[in-house]
Amino acid sequence: MKTVGNIIWLLFAGIWLFIAYIVAGIVSCIFIITIPFGVQSFKLASFVIWPFGRTAVARPGASALGSGCGNILWFVLGGWYLALTHFLTGLVLCIFVITIPLAIQDFKLAGLALAPFGKEIVSHAEAQRRRAYSQGGAASGWQASTGAPAAPALPPPAADDISF
C-alpha cells in the first residue's frame, strides 16, 4: 500500500514539491552561511518525493535554542515559500475526492516546511521503537538492570508526528 500511495503522490504532487525544494536548496547553497538551509532543503526534498512509510519526529539531542534560531531564519529565508507551495498544492488536491487524503498530508507537510530544524525523517518502525524506548526508559529510570521487563508494546504515533 505504501508503494501505491507513493506512486499516486509522486504523480499528483511529489515531483512538483521535489522540484521546489531542490530549487530552494540550490538558492540556499549560493552563500556559504546559508548552506545548512540548503542541506535541510535537500533532506526535505527526499522526503516529499517518496513520503509514505516515513515520518518526521523530534530529533533527540536537538537544542531548543539552536533549532529555534534555525527555524526563525529558515522561515524568513524561504520556509514561508515552501509552506505556501504545500498549501496551494493541497488546495489543488482537494478538487478531486480521491486525492483529499493526499491534500491532508500536504497540509501536514506545510507545517514541517515552516519549521524543519530539530526534526528528523525516520521510518515508522524506527519512530515507534524510539517512542517505546522513551516510554520504557521513563518507567524504569533509564538504567534498567539486566532483569528488567521487556519494552512495552509499540504505542500509536504521537499527535505531533507527521506520518504518512
Count of CB atoms situated within 10 Å of the CB of 44: 25
Amino acid in the structure at residue 128? Q
CA dihedral 131, 114, 52, 151 (to 10 degrees): 0
Instruction: Say what the pLDDT of residue 54 is.
Output: 87
Q: Is residue 77 part of a domain?
A: yes
Q: What is the pLDDT of residues 3-29, one digit of tens each?
A: 888 898 898 889 999 999 999 999 999
Q: Residue 112 in 3-state DSSP?
A: helix
Beta carbons of 150 and 80 less than 8 angstroms apart = no
pTM higher than the cut 0.95: no
Instruction: Say what the pLDDT of residue 123 is.
Output: 86
Cell of 105: 498530508
CA-to-CA distance for 66 and 11, rounded, in angstroms?
36
Q: Is residue 160 part of a domain?
A: no
Strand partners, 162: 56
Q: Is residue 143 part of a domain?
A: no
Q: Is residue 164 part of a domain?
A: no
CA-to-CA distance for 106 and 141, rounded, in angstroms?
38
Q: Is residue 131 part of a domain?
A: no
Q: Is residue 24 part of a domain?
A: yes
The count of structural domains within the chain is: 1
Structural domain for 37, as ranges: 2-123
Encode burial over 92-124: b for 16+ CB neighbours within 10 A, e otherwise.
ebeeeeebeebbebbbbbbebbbbbbbbbbbeb
Q: Is residue 145 part of a domain?
A: no
Mean pLDDT, consecutive 10-residue stretches, the chain (164 aa), reads 85 91 93 91 91 84 81 88 92 91 90 88 86 71 51 56 55
Instruction: Give the percent of the chain with pLDDT over 70.
Output: 82
CA-to-CA distance for 141 and 150, rounded, in angstroms?
14
Q: Is residue 136 part of a domain?
A: no
